[in-house]
Amino acid sequence: MASVQIRDVRKAFGPVEVLHGVSIDIEDGEFVILVGPSGCGKSTLLRMIAGLEGISGGEILIGERVVNHVPPKERDIAMVFQNYALYPHMTVGENMGFSLKLRGAPREEFDSRVKVAAEILGLTNLLDRYPRQLSGGQRQRVAMGRAIVRDPQVFLFDEPLSNLDAKLRVAMRTEIKALHQRLTSTTVYVTHDQIEAMTMADKIVVMHDGIVEQIGDPLGLYDRPDNLFVAGFIGSPA
Ligand code: ADP
Ligand code: MG
């Protein structure tokens, strides 16, 4: 796995700057959650780590390497989105292995990686089904399977649970954490949900209007918020 370092990163869309110099150190194997209100820049930052958005200032390192100009495919990263569109005409197995196929992986490699991912996610008996035959939680697992088969250095999640109902959301939190423990993968996870952040993160990054307000572990932030925004957002008495 790899560390991710974000050093004084800025992002402007045309004349409008939306990230104003953000610095975060993410250690190898850490589960870090970016949390903050809608529009504060969480998705933009995640997309910059993935290479899907250019960097207007500062630098991003994955492991030892500055990746500012490295295309997404060469970053060894897998991303799970909120609107995980599965291909309706492909089976679960085909959906999970699609990126391997694009890469021209040999049949045996395709089969063995899909098999391992399916075992990890409890999808072994569903590999021949089609997405329409699955529940919401199963579809979400297939979306994670697509990331796992690539065996990436870093996993990025952008509000992966926000389309699920409350009960399933809680169950999936546990599954994602268990997955992280099993794969010991460096994970950057975006949510606007404080409870999700408090229950899942090793380290929480509280963002607000394009800046980092505070970084800390869940209890530390709760007990010792740096300012009123953090106190209000995390829900601790100021
Ligand atoms: P979050 O994920 O925290 O809700 P985003 O990263 O999506 O926030 O957005 C941060 C800010 O950047 C918002 O003001 C949003 O309108 C703006 N923004 C995001 N993407 C674009 C884009 N492609 N063009 C212009 N503005 C954008
Ligand atoms: Mg977002």
- Is a pLDDT exceeding 60 seen at residue 238? no
ipTM over 0.95: yes
Residue 62, CA distances (Å) to 7, 187, 213 in order: 11, 12, 23
Q: Is 28 exposed, middle or buried (0-12, 13-18, 19+ CB in 10 A)?
A: middle
* Atom 2 of ligand 1, residue of closest alpha carbon: 43
Q: Using alpha carbons, select from 186, 209, 219 the residue that is nearest to residue 30.
A: 186
Q: Using alpha carbons, select from 128, 139, 144 the residue that is nearest to residue 90.
A: 128
pTM of the model: 0.92
Provide mean pLDDT across the span 188-201.
94
Report CA(104)–ligand 2 centroid distance (Å).
32
- Is a pLDDT exceeding 90 seen at residue 108? yes
pLDDT in the model for residue 237: 65
Amino acid at 30: E
Ligand having the closest approach to the CA of 11: 1
* Atom 1 of ligand 1, residue of closest alpha carbon: 39
Instruction: Find all residues with CB under 8 Å of 135, minimum gap 6, and list them.
Output: none
Report CA(44)–ligand 1 centroid distance (Å).
6
Report CA(2)–ligand 2 centroid distance (Å).
24
The ligand 1 atom at the shortest distance from the C-alpha of residue 44 is: 6
More confident residue, 23 or 79: 23
